[in-house]
Amino acid sequence: MEDLIRAIGFILAAGAVFMAMMVFEAWYLHRKTGNTNYRFGETLANLTTGASYKIVDGIAIALFITAFSDMINPYGLGWNPEPSIWAFIILFVLADLFMYFNHLAMHKFRWFWATHVTHHSSEHMNLSTALRQNFLNALNGNWLLMWVPLSLIGFDKDWILIAIETNLLYQFFCHTEAVGRLGWAEKIFNTPSHHRVHHGSNPAQIDR
């Protein structure tokens, strides 16, 4: 129950941040280009699918994902360093790696693509697009690709959750046309420029 309450609190806090950033993005784009790049119907769909996904995801994490992590943790490497900035950086980098493979699987296997396609069905690229998720994505097992390796390495479930949610927060800001190319960062990080290509519907951009 405590995990569920924490999950609900996080969802509400994150939702407030996301809404504020979407309002700012729309204002900025309108001031810069005269077009907010938001459409009411599509934005409403993005928000409702995002809310349903995050509610189901939060319940899944609270009820069985973290319990599964606790169950398999003792059978792994047992490396659970004391909390520190360096330990979190290592965890974050590893989480990012396994989330990459998770995302790759969503595009390569029909079982996962069946739910991920919802995210790619938006016609406009803005911050609300990041929230366009199918709630079944929380139940189709793709979370195993992230949670199993990190748990078996030995990381605590709470730290794993923080690393994954921090990564997802970063990915939220990649769904925008308000940010241009970012110089040297384009060679290292996933940037809004990269992600616009990834969401492109032209044949040359599919699955990029």
Span 39-96, pLDDT tens digits: 999 999 999 999 999 989 988 998 899 999 999 999 989 887 888 899 999 999 999 9
pLDDT attached to residue 197? 87
Span 11-22, pLDDT tens digits: 778 888 999 999
Span 135-182, pLDDT tens digits: 999 999 999 999 999 999 999 999 999 999 999 999 999 999 998 888
Per the CB < 8 A criterion, the answer to whether 116 and 123 are in contact is no
| CA–CA separation, 132 and 155 (whole Å) | 29
End-to-end CA distance of the chain: 41
For the chain, the domains span: 2-205
- Asked if the model's pLDDT at residue 1 lies above 80, the reply is no
Model pTM above 0.85: yes
| CA–CA separation, 169 and 24 (whole Å) | 16
- Asked if the model's pLDDT at residue 5 lies above 80, the reply is no
Nearest CA among 172, 146, 202, 154 for reference residue 54:
172
pLDDT attached to residue 83? 81
Mean pLDDT check: name the lowest of 71-80, 106-115, 197-206: 197-206
**Could you give the angle at the alpha carbon of 181 between the alpha carbons of 175 and 186, nearest 5°?**
90
Residue keyed to tokens 């569920």:
4
Identify the three-state secondary structure at position 117: coil
| CA–CA separation, 77 and 95 (whole Å) | 16
pLDDT attached to residue 78? 84
- Asked if the model's pLDDT at residue 6 lies above 80, the reply is no
pLDDT attached to residue 132? 96
Span 171-189, pLDDT tens digits: 999 999 998 888 888 888 8
Enter the tokens of residue 66: 């973290």
C-alpha torsion sign, points 55, 122, 97, 25: negative
